[in-house]
A and B are shown apart, each in its own frame.
Chain A
Amino acid sequence: MKQKLLSAAGALRRSPWQVKLSMVVMGLGQLCYGQIVKGLFYLLCFSVFLFYFVSRGFTDLVGFFTLGTREENLWLGIAGDNSLTMLILGLFAIFILIFAIVIHISNVKDALFTARQAEQGIPPRRFRQSLQTATDSKFHVSALSFPVLGVAMFSILPIVFMICIAFTNLGGDVVYPKLASWSLDSWRKILSLGKLGGTFVKILGWNVLWAILSTLLNFAIGLGMALLLNKKNVKGKKIWRAFPILAYAIPGFISMLGFKYLFSQSGPINYYLDEAGMMRIFFLTNDASAKWWARGIGLFVNAWISTPSIMLMTTGILSNINTDLYEAASLDGASPFQQFRKITLPFVLFSTTPVLIGQFVGNFNNFGIFFFLRDGVISNYADYFLASDTDLLINWLYKLSVDNNYYAIGAAISLVIFLITAALSLTVYVRSAAFRQEDTYQ
């Protein structure tokens, strides 16, 4: 890398004056070589960048670092800064700056290329030739530049914005017109042994357990149902398959609200318990005894909603297994369980690993289940801070950032969720057969 930089610096030092001119003002070198259209294009880009940075870009860049210096007084009509707007505009200015640098480098490289051609006595490329190159040997660059720009603007910029928020003190009392500043407070609060830290660890533990259990449960039930309905001796397969599809077709939140009522204190289950002379059960109520009931109900409801899709998918995969394999295994004396373990499961797992990773990430961030089943309570008995013992990180994040406006802490938790899910997903994927033995079943 260092060598590359040194050699580029040397090339630039030895380059003719036209290249040096292009280094100062984009497009001038090209104009000097008689590349009028290209030169004017670079010059136009230079003018636009210059105008933007002089008129507001530089101020926005400074604003990104200060996050505002003058507080607004809305009552007295004294204008001031808005930290959130300054953060967004500052980030935008940084992106424009990076874009300008990329264009500038391409301008210098182009001038250098033309200078080398001129040294060899080759006439500079005309605009039409440059266009031809862009659609031919440099097609990969031209084809990807717009998507990359789009991804940068609409995907990377919001993510970077969220990351930046995690390193400010925005939220709570610090909202417009109060000025925010860069701070590590949110991280200190999450990682310390205080209230937030304690709750974070408890929720994270349950979140990981939930994601693993729910993914395994959904997969096991879905595969089990598919295997059962794949058996030749099962009668009325179409009808049996229709039932899970019905559950799948009903909007998830309607099912969740239905289950919430079913298990509520005034719901039919408690009613019949009462009628039978038994004690009502605190299924979803905010009581210590409800902790595992509510968690179990969450797993059950999630399975109810997600299992049909796994069943459908595995049904399709099972129909692709060569039946000769089972025949051969039977002849070799393999038991049905051995056949399942050695043939069916590896085959299904091979095809479904990426989907299972998607399911795991989806379950890790499954906001709806406990939002609908158990909203509005915190488990004070176990010192949960603004959370209940069934909340996942995503629910806690919602309570902190939406209900209580603690944006910075919410953003920090989002980052942690992202890191955990990304690390686990990648690890599982690269260790899976689907990744390591991609050609095995092809």
Chain B
Amino acid sequence: MKRWIAVILCLCLGLLWGCGSEEAETPEVDTSDLYQQVMARFDGKLEQGAVVKVLENDTAVELGYVDQLITAFNEAYKDQGISAERMNIDQYSDLATDGPYGYGPDVWYQANDILMKYADKQHLLPLPIYDMERYEQIPQSAWDAYATDMKGETFYCGIPLNVQSGMLYYIESMLPENWQQQWDVNQNGTPDFFETYTALYAYSQLCKEGGQKTQYGYLDETVDTYFMSGYLMTYGAYIFGSNGTDPSDIGLAAGESYKGARMIRQWAGQMNNTEILDSAFSSAAYQYLADGVMLCTVTTPDVSRMFLRSMVATGNWTQEEAEKDLKMISVPRLPRSADLTADRWEDTVTDLEALTVETAMMGGINGYGISAYTKCPNASLAFVEFATSYAQALQRHEYLGVAPARADAAADISRNDPVVGILFDRLDRGLIRIMPAITEIGQLWTPAESFLIDLSTDPYRQERGEALLYETDEDIKAGLERLVSQIRDAIETLA
């Protein structure tokens, strides 16, 4: 089944963006005078003797990818008088503070929300993307994550490199022995509890009763805004209006988002484990999956190496066995009824379209930006072009397991790794809601986490003799409204 999905996705990607590793021709796009003025510094003349300072992601450094990248770049450009070196500083540099005084990086790899909070204050340079061969290889939704406006014209301050969003992780050997008989009602070769959250809830209940291979079915940090916002978004919520650019329109209480919140509460009650209220859970999750405490959890693809490390550390798997046994698939579908116990789980998998909806998830596009304070814009651009090339996209995937934003690389990789195809497909169908790239996004996390803690603590209140805060839909709606007003206060009070 998974093989078929991969083949179909490959074909789709090939049709959509053109397969193969051949360098595409540079597209011709009409550009304005303002665009020419802004791009004037990228005149193509490499600054002789320039050393491009590159600030990269810690995991990429730890796993050796960055050394490989820089060595390859220096080798490729050794005759052209430029080179690159890794900056050995915190990966979350403050470009606004460091840049003006010459301490920041020339080239910076980060998630779009982090990079773009520096773009609207002009700390990052707009890039001449129309002149690049990868312009047409990267979907517009990924470019949009780096878009910003000046005088009514759109500029792009980053080159998308890979897509991030939540995926469901599980260990195949931890599946119940009889899953093909008991948990594959629709006979499609995929365990039913990974197809719909209703079925996963039912299986998790079974695990709680005991007698299964794992103590819990699904266990997750229900207070993590990044992953839990998907429940709200599936039922109509959004973070900021106008495609994430209007901070005056905060949409977490929009549509029927309270239904999503209701299910988060249901999960918290079902899990009945207060560890999920603690952010320390995310680091404990690797071990819990390896130890068989839980069957599955949801997190981003870039941490797959952490799960593998924990599995190998138990002594039950070799590296090769762990790589074969650890699986990553698309998140299950949510019930249309927005109640994890309202439908029979068997019905939800046999009548998917009628009873369930596809789950939206928050996501991000990691990429490269160039500091506005760089003394070598052309050399920096050369580095960014090199690092986002087809060959390097494949290398990055090989080292880090990340899903490239380039269609050609994604199509190639998804032949062997269906995860990349799934992510790309979800991005294309709008099921990955890219994190807004405006400064105000910084005011989302803490109030949202506090709301989620409140919501997830609610199921324990009754047994503690405390009054329930989110017993009815009206309570949840009020809680979401309060969350919106807190975010608005944080944005407006200090503006």
Contact between B457 and A196, CB atoms less than 8 A apart: no
Nearest-neighbour CB distance to chain B for A173, whole angstroms, equals 6
Name the one of A285, A289, A406, A409 contacting B278, with C-beta atoms under 8 angstroms. A285
CA distance A285 to B452 in the complex (A): 12
CA distance A178 to B37 in the complex (A): 21
Contact between A404 and B274, CB atoms less than 8 A apart: no
CA distance A173 to B447 in the complex (A): 20
Q: Is B188 an interface residue when CB atoms closer than 8 A count as contact?
A: no
CA distance A285 to B442 in the complex (A): 22
Q: Is B185 an interface residue when CB atoms closer than 8 A count as contact?
A: no
What interface size band does chain B fall in?
Answer: 35 or more
Contacts of B40 in A (CB 8 A): 77
Contacts of B155 in A (CB 8 A): 75
DSSP class of B's interface residues: helix, strand, loop or mixed? Answer: helix
- B466 (CB) vs chain A CBs: closest residue: A289
Q: Is B330 an interface residue when CB atoms closer than 8 A count as contact?
A: no
Contacts of A372 in B (CB 8 A): none
CA distance A282 to B280 in the complex (A): 14
Nearest-neighbour CB distance to chain B for A276, whole angstroms, equals 15
Contact between A194 and B493, CB atoms less than 8 A apart: yes
Q: Is B248 an interface residue when CB atoms closer than 8 A count as contact?
A: no
Q: Is A379 an interface residue when CB atoms closer than 8 A count as contact?
A: yes
Interface residues of A, count at CB 8 A:
41
Q: Is B96 an interface residue when CB atoms closer than 8 A count as contact?
A: yes
Contact between A195 and B450, CB atoms less than 8 A apart: no
Nearest-neighbour CB distance to chain B for A411, whole angstroms, equals 14
Contacts of B122 in A (CB 8 A): 73-75, 177
Contact with A along B18-45 (1 / 0, CB 8 A): 0000000000000000000110110000
Name the one of B280, B372, B446 contacting A377, with C-beta atoms under 8 angstroms. B446
Contact between B466 and A175, CB atoms less than 8 A apart: no
Given A76-B38, A286-B450, A380-B447, verify A265-B494 contact (CB < 8 Å). no
Given A77-B41, A285-B453, verify A266-B275 contact (CB < 8 Å). yes
Contact between A287 and B490, CB atoms less than 8 A apart: no
CA distance A398 to B436 in the complex (A): 25
Segment with Cβ contacts to A, from B129-137, B381-389, B481-489: B481-489
Contacts of A196 in B (CB 8 A): 493-494
Given A74-B372, A82-B100, A376-B279, verify A173-B495 contact (CB < 8 Å). yes
Contacts of A380 in B (CB 8 A): 447, 450-451, 454, 482-483, 486
Nearest-neighbour CB distance to chain B for A288, whole angstroms, equals 8
Nearest-neighbour CB distance to chain A for B439, whole angstroms, equals 7
Name which of B37, B155, B280, B281 has the most chain A CB atoms within 10 A of its CB. B280
Contact between A378 and B280, CB atoms less than 8 A apart: no
Name the one of A76, A171, A379 contacting B37, with C-beta atoms under 8 angstroms. A76
Nearest-neighbour CB distance to chain B for A176, whole angstroms, equals 6
Q: Is A386 an interface residue when CB atoms closer than 8 A count as contact?
A: yes
Q: Quick one: which of A388-427 are within 8 Å of B by CB? A: 400, 404-406, 409
Given A74-B123, A176-B96, verify A378-B450 contact (CB < 8 Å). yes
Given A195-B493, A380-B447, verify A178-B121 contact (CB < 8 Å). yes
Q: Is B463 an interface residue when CB atoms closer than 8 A count as contact?
A: yes
Q: Is B125 an interface residue when CB atoms closer than 8 A count as contact?
A: yes
Q: Is A95 an interface residue when CB atoms closer than 8 A count as contact?
A: no
Contact with A along B431-474 (1 / 0, CB 8 A): 00000000100110011011101100100100110100000000
Contacts of B450 in A (CB 8 A): 286, 377-381
- A402 (CB) vs chain B CBs: closest residue: B94
Q: Is A35 an interface residue when CB atoms closer than 8 A count as contact?
A: no
CA distance A266 to B284 in the complex (A): 10
Nearest-neighbour CB distance to chain B for A168, whole angstroms, equals 14
Given A178-B121, A279-B463, A380-B482, verify A270-B274 contact (CB < 8 Å). yes
Nearest-neighbour CB distance to chain B for A350, whole angstroms, equals 47
CA distance A280 to B464 in the complex (A): 10
Given A285-B457, A377-B453, verify A264-B38 contact (CB < 8 Å). no
CA distance A280 to B126 in the complex (A): 52
Q: Is B150 an interface residue when CB atoms closer than 8 A count as contact?
A: yes
Q: Is B228 an interface residue when CB atoms closer than 8 A count as contact?
A: no
- A sample of 12 more A-B contacts (CB under 8 A), given A380-B483, A385-B493, A386-B446, is A74-B125, A74-B373, A75-B122, A173-B439, A270-B274, A279-B460, A279-B463, A285-B457, A286-B449, A287-B453, A376-B449, A404-B494
